[in-house]
Amino acid sequence: MSAVIETEALTKVYEGAVKGQDVHALTNLSIKVDEKEIFGYLGPNGSGKTTTIKLLLGLIFPTAGRMKILGSPDIGARAVRTNIGYLPEGAYYPEFLKGEEVLSFYGHLYGMTGRDLKTRIDRVLDVVGMSRARKRTVRGYSKGMRQRIGLAQALLSDPQILILDEPTTGLDPIARKEIRDILASLRDQGKTLLISSHELLEVELISDRVGILSEGELQACGKLTDLLSDRDTEIEVSGATPDALTRLAEAGIRVGDQVDTKASLRVPGEVPLYTAIERCKAEKLALVSVSPQRETLEEFFVRIIGEDEEKRRTSQ
Ligand SMILES: Nc1ncnc2c1ncn2[C@@H]1O[C@H](COP(=O)(O)OP(=O)(O)OP(=O)(O)O)[C@@H](O)[C@H]1O
Ligand SMILES: [Mg+2]
């Protein structure tokens, strides 16, 4: 697997930015985004996500560190530039333009013209499901439709890499799912996607790997299966009596939903599963199912950011 985006000790300080004080937006960021993967780039507000994206796009310059895109350290080279599609955070398009005119405008900026441009516009409108709305003006578009046009714009030059800053923010669940499906199919067609987002469930559903930033520093990076720990185990039992459940609760097993004599029990990581099962047997409960419960990305995110904040507090 080759790295399509690579940063090494990338650092950005906005000098004298706030009341003459430096803002350390990004510190020693080293990440790799592999070919044909969706990399979820996460972090609280102000943690440095957009700064990273702007650095990768060459819109701002690093204070220190190195970047390589498609193996090239010259990230301003035309071969690199034309291979990156970018959807900015809260992208804005003039309200009076029709969807297809927005794309035509950007196409001309990319140096595309004539038949090639028209064919390409037809194609990207089709990919994002906006062919039927192409002649309507942006004014009449929903947020989801605006994001689709933004995505179409990012796809115009048929780039290998897509960098999307908050692509699903503010969308309803159906629109989010539709955008997610489009992104997954782009990955399946061989594109590499770097997606910054606050929508943790979205990211969990779609990303191959994630990186989590806190105050400009990378706190965790990897595959979700490696990062998220298996913690609790859920046991479903039948034949439960209130007394038996009380005794199980006293042994540290949490009792969840109950319907008649069926109950769902939660065994926390600190209680050995073997002990919990033996206790259930001793209470003459029948086991219906035993299933490990994986930590969610949201739980992991809150834990990692919380640990980082605690570390900063205690080191002050
Ligand atoms: N042009 C700038 N000048 C000075 N400081 C800036 C500039 N752009 C960003 N910052 C600061 O750098 C830090 C990182 O900002 P950045 O926009 O990269 O965060 P983010 O992770 O994208 O946040 P959000 O989730 O809110 O979009 C913040 O403290 C921000 O105030
Ligand atoms: Mg941002």
Q: What is the pLDDT of residues 245-291, one digit of tens each?
A: 999 999 999 999 899 999 999 998 888 899 999 999 999 999 999 99
Q: pLDDT tens digit string along 221-255?
A: 999 888 887 778 999 999 999 999 999 999 999 99
Asked whether the beta carbons of 203 and 197 are under 8 A apart, the reply is: yes
17 lines ligand 1 (CB under 6 A): yes
Pocket lining: 73 vs ligand 1, CB cutoff 6 Å: no
Which residue among 10, 11, 24, 51 has the greatest number of ligand 1 atoms within 8 angstroms of its CB, and so is best to mutate?
51
Q: Which amino acid is at 308?
A: D
Q: Helices 99-109 and 143-155: crossing angle, nearest 10°?
A: 30
* Torsion sign, CA atoms 153, 161, 51, 214: positive
Q: Per-residue confidence at 89, pLDDT binned at 50, 70, 90?
A: confident
Tell me how far the alpha carbon of residue 253 lies from the centroid of ligand 1, in angstroms: 44
Average pLDDT over the chain reads 92
Domains of the chain are 3-222 (3.40.50.300), 230-294 (3.30.70.1150)
Contact (Cβ atoms closer than 8 angstroms) between residue 305 and residue 44: yes
The answer to whether the CB of 27 is under 6 A from ligand 1 is no
CA 274 – CA 290 distance, rounded (Å): 11
Residue minimizing CA distance to atom 15 of ligand 1: 46
pTM listed for this prediction: 0.85
Using the mean position of ligand 1's atoms as its centre, give its distance from the Cα of residue 45 in Å: 8
Is 214's C-beta closer than 6 angstroms to any atom of ligand 1?
no
Within 10 A of 228 (CB to CB), how many other CB atoms are there?
Answer: 17
What residue owns the CA closest to ligand 1's atom 12? Answer: 25
Strand order in the sheet with 64-69: 21-34, 3-18, 64-69
Q: How many degrees, rounded to 5, is the angle at CA 79 between CA 74 and CA 82?
A: 115
* Cα–Cα nearest to 73, from 8, 161, 2: 8
